[in-house]
């Protein structure tokens, strides 16, 4: 890339020993000519995720893969804040460890940012070129319902609110994250809605989402209730 940009990729993990190894391999495969580091925030996984990360550090370099573990499960939002403290890049990428976010899209995030000088580039599943695999009808219905509700009530200006594959200018992420209070699923939505309200330049790139291959999906029924509460909260506070 022509400018001297550095990208810090923050990946929160919990019991992802296999996925994290596969993810690291794929990130290094698809980002060959880019200056980047991966910051893995592991919440004390009992399955040996951290040992695998140490092996990966030996293989790829301790300066390229940073392990910033926390003693126990402390939640996604604080994992990003924790990772951000250790980020040395001027851009930050946030993605899931479970391979539902494929690293092959990273170059298109970077390209889009360079072309448009956006502060945030967010991956969207709901445009041409994007898509989802592995969802049943119920999951699709919930997702569409949630999206229509949020689009109608919040007018966020982005087509995919709950996706969490995003690239941020570091200063923008620091600014937005400090004003976010939600947890879990709603957190991603709050981030992008607040960013939109603050007037940040947001661009979208299509991504595909293949629901987790290994391990169990972490979305439960109570998530819907949490989502509705989060939506109501955002409606009155933004």
Partner 1 sequence: MKHIVKILTFHTWLLPIYFVVSLGCYGLLMVGVGLIQFPTCPQEAVLLQQDVVEAKEYLRQKGVDVGGCD
Residues that bind partner 1 (CB under 8 A): 17-18, 21-22, 25-26, 47-48, 51-52, 55-56, 59, 99, 102, 125-128, 130-134, 137, 140-141, 144-145, 147-149, 151-152, 208-210, 213-215
And the tokens for 233? Answer: 């909260």
Least distance in Å: CB of 179 to partner 1?
29
Backbone dihedral angles phi then psi of residue 150, each to the nearest 5 degrees? -65, -40
Return the number of the residue (30 or 201) whose C-beta is nearest partner 1.
30
Tokens 């899931």 sit on residue: 96
Task: Please list the alpha-helical segments (H only) found in the chain.
Answer: 17-30, 49-60, 76-85, 106-116, 137-154, 170-178, 184-197, 222-237
Return the number of the residue (43 or 98) whose C-beta is nearest partner 1.
98
Least distance in Å: CB of 46 to partner 1?
11
Q: Is 68 left (phi over 0), alpha (psi -120 to 50) or beta?
A: beta
Nearest to 43 by CA among 7, 67, 8: 67
3-state secondary structure 94-129: ECCCCCCECHHHHHHHHHHHHHHCCCEEEEECCCCC
Least distance in Å: CB of 57 to partner 1?
10
Least distance in Å: CB of 4 to partner 1?
30
Q: Is 217 helix (H, G, I), strand (E, B) or coil?
A: coil
Return the number of the residue (127 or 235) whose C-beta is nearest partner 1.
127
Return the number of the residue (52 or 161) whose C-beta is nearest partner 1.
52
Q: How far apart are CA 219 and CA 199, in angstroms?
A: 31
CA end-to-end span of the chain, whole Å? 37
Least distance in Å: CB of 25 to partner 1?
4
Return the number of the residue (14 or 187) whose C-beta is nearest partner 1.
14
Least distance in Å: CB of 119 to partner 1?
26
Return the number of the residue (5 or 151) whose C-beta is nearest partner 1.
151
């Amino acid at each position: 890339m022509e400018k001297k940009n550095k990208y810090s990729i923050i990946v929160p993990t919990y019991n992802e020993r296999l996925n994290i190894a596969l993810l690291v391999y794929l990130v290094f495969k698809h980002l060959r000519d880019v200056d980047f580091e991966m910051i893995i925030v592991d919440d004390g996984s009992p399955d040996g995720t951290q040992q695998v990360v140490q092996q990966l550090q030996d293989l790829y370099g301790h300066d390229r893969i940073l392990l910033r573990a926390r003693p126990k499960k402390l939640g996604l939002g604080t994992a990003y804040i924790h990772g951000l403290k250790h980020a040395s890049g001027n851009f930050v990428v946030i993605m899931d460890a479970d391979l539902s976010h494929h690293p092959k899209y990273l170059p298109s995030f970077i390209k889009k940012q360079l072309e448009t000088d956006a502060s945030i580039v967010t991956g969207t599943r709901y445009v041409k070129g994007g898509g989802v695999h592995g969802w049943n009808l119920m999951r699709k219905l919930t997702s569409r319902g949630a999206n229509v509700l949020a689009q109608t009530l919040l007018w966020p200006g982005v087509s995919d609110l709950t996706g969490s594959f995003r690239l941020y200018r570091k200063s923008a992420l620091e600014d937005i994250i400090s004003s976010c209070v939600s947890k879990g699923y709603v957190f991603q939505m709050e981030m992008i809605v607040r960013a939109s309200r603050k007037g940040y330049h947001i661009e979208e790139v299509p991504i595909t989402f293949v629901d987790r291959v290994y391990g169990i999906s972490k979305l439960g029924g109570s998530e819907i209730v949490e989502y509705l509460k989060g939506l109501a909260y955002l409606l009155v506070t933004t």
